[in-house]
Amino acid sequence: MGYKRPRHNSVVLNLTPLIDIVFLLLVFFMLTAHFVEDQALIVDLPDADNSPAAAEHEETVTVIISSQSEILINNQPVSDDELVESLRNALDKSEDRMMRIRGDNEASLGVAVKVLDAAEAAGAKAVDILTEKP
């Protein structure tokens, strides 16, 4: 009897080009993504010609002084009475106990001195004042 078994062709899809495309898209989006730090307040930093670059640390406490003398600690508004206690709480959560001041170009010098004094009272080990290169 001339009975022939039907052949089963197994189809194997080559996934290598698909994986290559996925990795290329991943690299493209990683390179073009902007990792911008969200800020609650726009601050016009003063210019400085000879300022060193600040190292990025996740734990660093950021204090923002606006042109209207508003003070924000890690993007949370703080009154003058709560300044030392709020700084102490924020610094206790930070391992390096470092603090950055982002002061507006039009901010009062008296407010900046008040923040520096509060930083010393709260136990900050180091204070950076952020500027922009012209």
Structure tokens at 90: 């924020």
In this prediction, residue 41 carries a pLDDT of 54
The contacts found for 8-11 with CB under 8 angstroms, 24 or more apart, are none
Which CATH code fits 61-129? 3.30.420.270
Amino acid at 115: V
Cα(66)–Cα(106) distance, rounded to whole angstroms?
8
Residue ranges covered by each domain of the chain = 61-129
Mean pLDDT by 10 residues, the chain (134 residues): 72 89 92 66 62 60 87 87 89 86 84 89 85 70
Scanning 10-122, the segments in alpha helix (DSSP H) are 16-32, 83-93, 109-122
Note the pTM of the prediction, 2 decimals: 0.58
